[in-house]
Amino acid sequence: SPRWRVSCSLTSSAMSTHTYANEVKLFHKWTYDDIEVSDDISLEDYIAVKSKSAQFVPHSAGRFQAKRFKKAQCPIVERLTNSIMMHGRNNGKKVMAVRIVKHAFEIVHLLTDANPIQQLVDGIINASPREDSTRIGSGGVVRRQAVDVSPMRRVNQAIYLITQGARAAAFRNVKTIAECLADEIINAAKGSSNSYAIKKKDELERIAKANR
C-alpha cells in the first residue's frame, strides 16, 4: 500500500544518516589496539584481547562451554563479567554484572589514567599462581605434591580470585562492588600485597614450595 511505501522510504533515509563506529571500543571508550600480554608469553593464547575478540559490551551470549578449551577464546572482559555472577542471588544477572564492570573500569581509569583493559590483563598475569599442590593418595596415606599449573588454569584461577576478593571486600561494607573490583584490579596490576588475589597466589605458591 502507498502508506507502507512511504514509511519504508522514511526508514531507509533515516538509516542512511546514521554514523557507524569504525573502531570497536569497549563501552565505546576503551580501545583494544594497544593491549599487550607481554609479561608472560605462556598466557598469550589464553587471554583473549586481540582485535578478533574486541566487543562493545561484554555480553555476547556466545556458547563458550560447548567444547573443551573453547572458553579460552571468550573475551577476557566478558569472562570477568561472568565471574561476577556468582553466589546464588547473583546468578544469571548479567546486565547487572556488565554495569559493575563498566563502573569499575571508569574508576580504574580515573585512578591510574591507564587503559583499564590493560590493567585487567596485567592483574590477571600477576595474580595467576604458577605452582600449586595436589593430593596424591597411595596406600591410604594422603600427601600433597607440588605441580606446575597449566596456563588455562592460571587464567581461570586469577579471574576467580580477583572477583572473589572484590565480593568479599564489598560484603557488609559502604563501598560498592564496582569500587572494590576497581581496587582489586589496580592492586593486582601493581603486584601489591593489598590485593586479595595476590595474597592468595603467594599463599598457594608458598604451600606448593613446601610440598616439593
d(C-alpha 74, C-alpha 88), whole Å: 23
Question: In the predicted model, is pLDDT for residue 4 greater than 60?
Answer: no
d(C-alpha 203, C-alpha 149), whole Å: 15
Arithmetic mean of pLDDT, 108-130: 93
Question: In the predicted model, is pLDDT for residue 6 greater than 80?
Answer: no
The mean predicted confidence, pLDDT, of the chain is 87
For 134-144, the pLDDT digits (tens) are: 998 877 888 88
Task: Give the Å distances, CA to CA, from 6 to 14, 16, 204.
Answer: 12, 16, 68
Task: Give the Å distances, CA to CA, from 51 to 24, 78, 106.
Answer: 8, 14, 21
Arithmetic mean of pLDDT, 15-33: 76
For 73-105, the pLDDT digits (tens) are: 999 999 999 999 988 888 999 999 999 999 999
Arithmetic mean of pLDDT, 172-193: 93
Q: What is the pTM of this model?
A: 0.85
Which has more pLDDT, 38 or 203? 203
Cβ(195)–Cβ(127) below 8 Å: yes
Question: In the predicted model, is pLDDT for residue 18 greater than 90?
Answer: no
Percent of the chain surpassing pLDDT 90: 61
Arithmetic mean of pLDDT, 13-40: 76
Question: In the predicted model, is pLDDT for residue 7 greater than 80?
Answer: no
Arithmetic mean of pLDDT, 45-71: 90
